[in-house]
Amino acid sequence: MNNNIQVLCFGEVLWDNLPTGPLPGGAPMNVAMHLKRFGISSVIASSIGNDEKGTGLLSFLNYAGMDTTYIQVHDSLPTSEVLVHLNEKNSATFEICEPVAWDEIHLTPELADILKSSQALVYGSLASRNPATRETLGKLLNSDILRIMDVNLRPPFDKQEIVVPLLKKADIVKLNDDELLTISGWFNIKGDFSSLAEGLYDLLKLKTLIITKGEHGASLIHDGKLYSHRGYKVKVADTVGAGDAFLAGFLAAFFDEKIMPEALAEASAIGAFVASKSGAVPYYDIQTLRDFIKR
């Protein structure tokens, strides 16, 4: 494992209010926590409210051994909460409240310093819905760092004019098959799955494009070559955080310089494992995942 990598994960931290009760979440937080499970140094940059729910998130993260130094505390905006709705297949849709603390993440001297000592930046589209956080992210993206975009098109916070500039800054993009259809449409890219994926990959001049496909597995394009994995069959508890776990699993393998088929298989395994458990960051260790892959 490459232990010389530090990843800065920027964006939302929140409470996912599931039918079974509230659980900590937010894509950047989930990715950071999963990276830590893989032995990679990860830092979360976000903002919480000066309230009980914010204190609860900090307590959760501190207990998990995460560095909370770069989570700002907002005096007037509340800690974020999201209503999670599950359909008959336990796939999640999200009702995201606003305004919340992570709508105003500021570029502090401390955040600028941690960026300089990081080798990669993970960010998404959701946190950029507000101009304040979007401006901060824009400044971070102007640095010489590996930029990894985890697309999260959450209506109504899925505006083309906000998402496209973020895509054009990325070196690695991860999205799902529905998001591939939407974004390809923005660029008037047409054809079958391979045509859409290759067209977007070429247009954005990416290092890697990753597409998750739910129960149908995942595909990626790296150095111009398309790879696919059929996925792992599990009984889904909920899909919350499965894509975040997938991305962290891929990045862990990527930083460890594993070949793409192996990276895709390991990412698919952790994504499926998390989908089989409730919440975005269920407990596991590396041996648990090895056993899961071998089953």
| pLDDT of the residue at 162 | 96
Q: Cite the beta strand spans of 19-116 per DSSP E.
A: 21-25, 41-49, 71-74, 80-86, 92-96
Check: pTM over 0.75? Answer yes or no. Answer: yes
What strands lie across the sheet with 14-18, from one edge to the other?
21-25, 14-18, 80-86, 92-96
Tokens describing residue 252: 């862990």
| pLDDT of the residue at 256 | 95
Give every CB contact of residue 72 below 8 A, 6+ residues apart in sequence.
46, 47, 48, 101, 105, 106, 108
Give every CB contact of residue 279 below 8 A, 6+ residues apart in sequence.
16, 18, 23, 24, 25, 238, 240, 241
| pLDDT of the residue at 83 | 79
Map tokens 């054809």 to a residue.
191
Task: Enumerate the domain spans of the chain.
Answer: 6-294
Three-state SS letters, 253-291:
HHHCCCCHHHHHHHHHHHHHHHHCCCCCCCCCCHHHHHH
The tens place of each residue's pLDDT in the chain, 295 residues long, gives: 556 899 999 999 999 887 778 889 899 999 999 999 999 999 999 999 999 999 999 999 999 999 999 999 999 999 999 877 667 666 666 678 889 999 999 999 999 999 999 999 999 999 999 999 999 999 999 999 999 999 999 889 999 999 999 999 999 999 999 999 999 999 999 999 999 999 999 999 999 999 999 889 999 999 999 999 999 888 887 777 889 999 999 999 999 999 999 999 999 999 999 888 877 777 777 888 777 777 7
Residue 54 contacts residue 79 (beta carbons within 8 Å): yes
Tokens describing residue 61: 């993260």
| pLDDT of the residue at 94 | 66
| pLDDT of the residue at 146 | 98
HSE-up of 293 (CA within 13 Å, CB side)?
18
In the CATH scheme, what is the code of domain 6-294?
Answer: 3.40.1190.20
